[in-house]
Structure 1
Amino acid sequence: MRVFVAGATGAMGRQLVPRLVRAGHEVHAMTRSESKQGFLRELGAVPVVADALDPDQVARAVATARPDVVVHQLTSIGPMDMRHFDRAFAQTNRLRTEGTDHLLSAAQAVGVERFVAQSFFAGYDRVGGPVKSEDDPFGTQPPPGMEQTVGAIRHVEDTVLAATWTHGLVLRYGGFYGPHTSLGPDGEQTDAVRQRKFPIVGDGGGVWSFIHIADAAEATVAAVECGAPGVYNVVDDEPARVSTWLTVLAESLGAKAPMRVPRFVGKLFAGETGAVMMTQLRGASNAKAKRELGWTPAHATWRDGFRELAVSARAETDAAA
């Protein structure tokens, strides 16, 4: 099939594009930067230069490629600021609202058969049990400070699923870790854990779901090729409390155990958003994705992935010494 990937040079795109090429697809990879065309050619793709926020450029790019499938992986995430979460995600929120609308409009004009879009597990309402399925309420009770971000995610989901002219699939990814992510060998979150700047807030009872970036890419290839329209949680097999996974991560990295701070102290440096994510977040089940996409994560649990991450981090440190 001919597959158009928007957001082809991000952490996901770097993993996804070569996998699609190896699977025999003709990949048209969109980037905003002229200078990244060579990199995309090296991955085996046809580079496409367009600004995702310019509807005319997007329309021309998609019309030229005439894809069977569009994959929407547009993000622009800078340094994390939990106190001002929506501000930190402002550009990504535009890509998830305006960018989604531009891609859908362009895709409809050329009769795209399948549209696969990125979402995020952290929007599940913080009620009931600790692990959620795709049938549970999502995005109706966003954490304070994340209203715009969760609203943008809901926009992606609602508009893609409402597009009756195509097969729309939404992938609610877990927290990414691995190469080129903030929880990679030299990532922002990894450094914070090493430096004991990532404390356990309150009881650390928030439940997080993770997914290695390579496993997320494999699931996305599966969604390109199969699966009914709908929402899929793309996460590993072990949702975990913050107090559990953060302690294991620090130990894997050879760092001191994370500090523990009361919730009111956590709010001072991470805001209400950070405090809620550390104490109230709900995880997600991958049962539907495994069943209907025929996908299984190679890193079944973040425990294995974090050990692998620690080995890579030590190798990079040794190489830089």
Structure 2
Amino acid sequence: MRILVAGAGGVVGLPLTRELIARGHHVVGTSRNPDSRPELRDAGATVVRMDAFDLASVEHAVAEARPDAVIHQLTDLSAVDLEANAELRIVGTRNLVDAMRRFGVPRLVTQSIAWLYADGVGLADETVPLRAATGPGARTVEGVVALEHTSAEIPDHVILRYGKLYGPGTWYSPDGDFGRAARDGVFEGNGVESFLHVADTVAPTVAALDWPAGIVNIVDDEPAEPDEWLPTFCRWVGAQAPTGKARGPGRGASNAKARTLGWQPLYPTWRKGMAD
């Protein structure tokens, strides 16, 4: 299969590209600056220049790749700029889907997030609506709603709602922004979390190329409040354990649908992942 990976050089995109190539797929990876991504070529991918905010650039990349499927891994998180990331979700997804429709690409797998469900009792499955776009996180909700609605214009689409990523290259790691914040004593957690080790992103994303259309939560088995997970996180990153009660909004997500489809996480709980 010919697959265009949009955002192939990212923390998910690069190992995903390597796995797709190992499985015999021809991968075309996008980058705003192809010369800066030798690791993609070293992995065996073809690299094309693409600016997700420029429709002509996106159309050129799709036309050159001639893909059977697109995997959308575009994010803008290196500077912890949630506004920029929301804008990329809105504009970049719009351009990507428009280009796919123009050139008749039939299959789309999109990265989304699993921590915006409306409040309620119990774990949220994929039928639970997202929370309203109000308050401090409104722009993030707007970006995710636009990303998912636009992706659904491709009839054969799968939207993967990842849990909060932790592990190498993510914010939740010893070298990540939240690891540094914890050591500085200024990180208190963000409420109930459904986590996902970054190593657990690749297998379900590859599998989703063959899954039925729809939304699937990709999260570990143990959603937890900060009082549970934050002490383990602090030990992992070398920070002092918090002394007060940490509470916040949030609702854990269920991975039952993904397991029914055959996915099993390598790290079923953040307890093991953060200990390793």
Q: Is this a same-fold pair by TM over 0.5? A: yes
Q: 1:138 to 1:67 in 2, by over 3 A?
A: same
Note if contact 1:5-1:73 (Cα within 8 Å) is conserved in structure 2: yes
> C-alpha separation between the residues in 1 aligned to 2:35 and 2:225?
42
Q: 1:282 to 1:229 in 2, by over 3 A?
A: same
| RMSD, aligned α-carbons | 1.7
Note if contact 2:71-2:108 (Cα within 8 Å) is conserved in structure 1: yes
**Aligned residue number for residue 233 of structure 2:** 249
With the length of structure 2 as denominator, give the TM-score of the two structures.
0.94
Task: State the secondary structure of the residue aligned to 1:180.
Answer: coil
Task: State the secondary structure of the residue aligned to 1:18.
Answer: helix
> C-alpha separation between the residues in 2 aligned to 1:142 and 1:282?
16
- 1:41-60 matches, within 5 Å, as 41-60=41-60
1:235-290 per-residue CA deviation (whole Å, 9 max, x = no partner) reads 0111111110001222344532114268xxxxxxxxxxxxxxx5120110111011
**Aligned residue number for residue 150 of structure 2:** 159
Matched, 1:304 2:268: no
Q: Which amino acid aligns with 1:283?
A: G
> C-alpha separation between the residues in 1 aligned to 2:117 and 2:266?
25
- 1:1-321 matches, within 5 Å, as 1-80=1-80, 88-126=81-119, 128-139=120-131, 141-142=132-133, 144-164=135-155, 167-199=156-188, 206-224=191-209, 226-260=210-244, 278-292=247-261, 294-308=262-276
Shift of 1:37: 3.8
**Higher helix proportion (structure 1 or 2):** 1
> C-alpha separation between the residues in 2 aligned to 1:143 and 1:193?
27
Task: State the secondary structure of the residue aligned to 1:239.
Answer: coil
> C-alpha separation between the residues in 2 aligned to 1:179 and 1:109?
37
With the length of structure 1 as denominator, give the TM-score of the two structures.
0.81
> C-alpha separation between the residues in 2 aligned to 1:137 and 1:296?
25
1:15-56 per-residue CA deviation (whole Å, 9 max, x = no partner) reads 211111111111000000133242210122111111111100
1:68-124 per-residue CA deviation (whole Å, 9 max, x = no partner) reads 1101111111444xxxxxxx3222112111111111111112221210111111210
Q: Which amino acid aligns with 1:297?
A: P
Q: Which amino acid aligns with 2:117?
A: Y
The structure whose Rg is larger is 1
Q: Which amino acid aligns with 1:152?
A: G
Note if contact 1:199-1:260 (Cα within 8 Å) is conserved in structure 2: no
Task: State the secondary structure of the residue aligned to 2:95.
Answer: helix
Task: State the secondary structure of the residue aligned to 2:201.
Answer: helix
* Residue ranges of structure 2 left out of the alignment (5+ in a row): none
Q: Does 252-261 or 64-73 show the bigger shift?
A: 252-261
Q: Which amino acid aligns with 2:128?
A: D
Note if contact 1:48-1:61 (Cα within 8 Å) is conserved in structure 2: yes
Task: State the secondary structure of the residue aligned to 1:76.
Answer: coil
> C-alpha separation between the residues in 2 aligned to 1:47 and 1:300?
34
Q: Which amino acid aligns with 1:207?
A: V
Aligned identity (percent) is 39
Number of aligned residues: 276
Note if contact 1:177-1:184 (Cα within 8 Å) is conserved in structure 2: yes
> C-alpha separation between the residues in 2 aligned to 1:143 and 1:307?
36
* Residue ranges of structure 1 left out of the alignment (5+ in a row): 81-87, 263-277, 309-321
1:116-174 per-residue CA deviation (whole Å, 9 max, x = no partner) reads 11111121012x214210011114x245111121111011111212333xx11101110
Q: 1:97 to 1:113 in 2, by over 3 A?
A: same
